[in-house]
Amino acid sequence: MLAAQSASAWFVVLVVTAAHTAVAMSNIVLPTIAPKVAESLGVNPVLAGYQVSLTFGLMVVAGAATLGLLLARRVNREAAP
C-alpha cells in the first residue's frame, strides 16, 4: 500500500513539474521570439508583453489567494477545541 502511495506521489510531482516547465518556457520563449512572430502574423509585438504581464499578475493573485486560504484554515484548526 505504501509503495502505491509513493508511486502516486511521484506521479503528481512529475506532472506538476511538467506543467511548471511548460509555463516557464512560454514566459521565456514567447517574449524572445515576439518580434518575428508578430511580424509574420501582422500584429503588434507589444501583445507578447501583455501575455507575460497577465501571466505573472494572475500568478500573484492566485498565490495570495492560496496563502489566504491556507492561513484561514490553520487559524480555524487552532481555534477548534
Residue 32: pLDDT band by 50, 70, 90 thresholds? Answer: confident
Query: What pTM was estimated for this model as a whole?
Result: 0.51
Boundaries of domain holding 54: 2-79
Q: Check pLDDT > 90 for residue 18.
A: yes
Alpha carbon 23 to chain centroid distance? Answer: 6
Whether the CB-CB separation of 38 and 47 falls below 8 Å is answered with yes
Q: Check pLDDT > 70 for residue 4.
A: no
Region 25-46: what's the mean pLDDT? 84
Q: Give percent helix, percent strand, percent coil of the chain, each to the nearest 5.
A: 90, 0, 10
**Domain count of the fold of the chain:** 1
